[in-house]
C-alpha cells in the first residue's frame, strides 16, 4: 500500500467520521483539524479498523500530523 493510498483512506475517515473539510498531509490533528480527545480517539479507532492494525500509546504520542499517522500506519502494515 502506498503513502498516497494510506493518506486517501485517512482523509476519507477524517471527512466522513470527523467532519474535517481541509485535510492535507501536513495538517496537524489538534491545531489544524481541531480534533479534541474524543475525536482523536475516534480517528485512532477508525484507522485501526480500516487498516487492521493496533496503535499503541507510544505510536499515538508520536503522531502530530497526518503525515506522522501515515508513517505509523505504513510501519504497522510492514510488520
Q: In the chain, where are the structural domains located?
A: 3-78
Residue 60: per-residue pLDDT = 86
Answer positive or negative: Cα dihedral of 64, 60, 29, 9. Answer: positive
Cβ–Cβ < 8 Å for 60, 70: no
d(CA 58, CA 30): 18
Residue pLDDT, tens place only, 2-58: 999 999 999 999 999 998 888 999 999 999 999 999 999 999 999 999 999 999 989
**Angle between helix 37-51 and helix 3-18 axes, rounded to 10 deg:** 130
The CATH number of the domain covering residues in 3-78: 1.10.1200.10
Provide the 8-state DSSP code for 45: H
Confidence of residue 79 (pLDDT cuts 50, 70, 90): confident
pTM over 0.95: no
Amino acid at each position: 500500500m502506498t503513502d498516497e493510498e494510506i493518506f486517501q483512506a485517512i482523509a476519507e475517515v477524517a471527512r466522513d467520521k470527523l467532519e474535517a473539510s481541509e485535510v492535507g498531509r501536513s495538517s496537524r490533528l489538534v491545531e489544524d483539524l481541531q480534533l479534541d480527545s474524543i475525536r482523536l480517539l475516534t480517528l485512532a479507532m477508525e484507522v485501526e479498523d480500516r487498516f487492521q492494525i493496533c496503535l499503541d500509546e507510544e505510536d499515538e504520542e508520536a503522531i502530530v500530523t497526518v503525515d506522522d499517522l501515515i508513517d505509523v500506519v505504513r510501519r504497522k502494515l510492514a510488520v
